[in-house]
Chain A
Amino acid sequence: MTETTIRPFSAASFEQYISEHKLMAARCTLCGASYIPPRAICPKCHSEQLEWIETSGKGLLQAFTMIYTGPTFMVEQGFDRAHPYISGIVMLEEGAAISARITGVDALKPDLNLIGTPLGVDFIEFGEAGKSKTYLAFKIL
């Protein structure tokens, strides 16, 4: 993937990519380590020469929970005590992990065997067409 201008390694850029349905990581061109969320400075070698890479979107579930009392913006999406949702941490193939919603699983049936399950990236749109917000999610493959 080539761009004439490299987007800054910021939360705003990361969210912009998410809205374009791309899960992007920052890779250090000096030591090769990949980071998600993106960083401007490599914590391993302190290089400031990083590049964007598009991740495969594949990973394994590391941890999860079913949330019954969510924050306001989740309540607005229709989640409540009777309809909990799943939040989790996914370790991507690229060697970095990210927090995300987990879909395709019954939120009323917690199962520790889900840990280690292969997942693929999913993007949840919520809101009016044209003004919706994109949320990062992963679904069972």
Chain B
Amino acid sequence: MSKSRSLPRGVAIVGAGMSKFGAFPEKNSRDLFVEAFKSMSSSVDKGYDPGVIQALYVGNFSSDQFEHQAHIAPLMADAVGLTPIPATRVEDACASGGVALRQGVMAIASGLADVVLVGGTEKMTALSTAAVTDALATAADVSFEISAGFTFPGFYAAIASAYMQRYGMLPEHLMNVAIKNHDNAALNPNAQFGVTIQKWMEGRIAAALKKGKPAPNWANIWDFLHDNSGNPMIAWPLRLFDCSPVSDGAAVVLLVADELAREFSDHPIHIIGTGQASDSALHGRLDLTSLFAAKKASADAYAMAGVTPRDIRIAEVHDCFTIAEVIATEDLGFFTPGEGYKAAEDGLTARVGSKPINTSGGLKAKGHPVGASGVAQAVEVWKQMRGEAGERQVPGDVPLALTHNVGATGSTCVVHVYERKS
């Protein structure tokens, strides 16, 4: 293990914004980035001159495959009037946004920049489901994993099989995570599926009746979630509601050196810890019930921040699939291995629980435009820490928060720790 490091210079977020996440046929990744940038600009308490921005890092997984457009960073810089700043696209699969955030932190902490724009954007819905599935598969080890027939739901389903076999969890336990995340998303105006599962089910029943068909036989959401027509199996044991969707969207944050933060806001959110790690393809892991890269990245971030898991008030974690959230809460040290699914069942991770996880609705219900997700996580913690999360605000103060962003099956993981000091 490398020795713990500290940031030579402090970094603060003074603005954060995002587009709505969803399916937007008329918008591409550049349009969404501009929307998120505008949202961020309007969030800077004291206003600012965008001319002070010195660099751009933008997380994006595969505009090449999704839009036939590569080399997007200069396009994004130009679209918001920032040419000729250095503009860099960052790609680490679904961790692209979080890793872009880390590049921004490093640029300021190193002294090479004072004000940095970090964004994430992805436009996925122009392709068919089959084409999106094939594009996402390129995040795995194509040479050795894909010929086995694995898909992304398949990888995480295999992880779930190992977890269930070791800890006795049932597929039903995972449904608690989906229910909670939809409950949270119902309070998030930017969420792709801002509706509780209860409301979703009622909508399906109403639609069937309207078409003159018999009402589906769902007495409650548990019936619905167990039913193949309401919640079809994708890769056993994962069903539709265990899987994050295909989405369009963008998110942007404005980073400044600590000593400049007051010029922008009296309530900046400081990034006090950053950690990142890599790992092999899934079959190379020693333990399939945990993501080692998440343990390593979070250990480094906690050490840099000088905090422990117990100190973290809320966290946005990478719930690409429900099982990923369960394991994340264990990898991050919030619950002991094998207890994460019970914590979700007991309501500990609900918005009003003792350890709120994914108050935004998570990737599942807020949406997962791949490159944007890691930055959108930072947007959520920024809002919660400043008391600006509206109806989904967690009760009480949020002095410390964490974001956890994963690439593929955990071949990349990046973790950040945030502190509100004023």
Contact = CB atoms under 8 A, between A and B. Distances in A.
Interface of A: 11, 14, 37, 62-72, 74-75, 79, 81, 84-85, 87-89, 97-101, 110, 112, 115, 135-136
Interface in B133-180: 133-134, 137, 143-151, 153-154, 157-162, 164-165
Nearest to A65: B157
Nearest to A70: B149
Contacts of A11: 143-144
A77 B134 CA distance: 16
B130 A89 contact: no
A110 B153 contact: no
A140 to B, nearest CB: 16
B343 interface: no
Nearest to B171: A110
Contacts of B237: 65, 110
Nearest to B286: A97
A115 B165 contact: yes
A50 to B, nearest CB: 16
Contacts of B150: 67, 87, 99
A115 B166 CA distance: 10
Interface stretch (B227-235, B244-252, B370-378): B227-235
Contact of B235 (A67, A89, A99): A67
B165 A89 contact: no
13 contacts: A65-B157, A69-B234, A71-B130, A87-B149, A89-B158, A89-B282, A99-B144, A99-B282, A100-B148, A110-B236, A112-B164, A136-B147, A136-B148
Contact of B165 (A69, A98, A112): A112
A88 B158 contact: yes
Contacts of B106: none
A65 B143 contact: no
Contacts of A88: 148, 158
A94 to B, nearest CB: 13
B85 interface: no
B158 A87 contact: yes
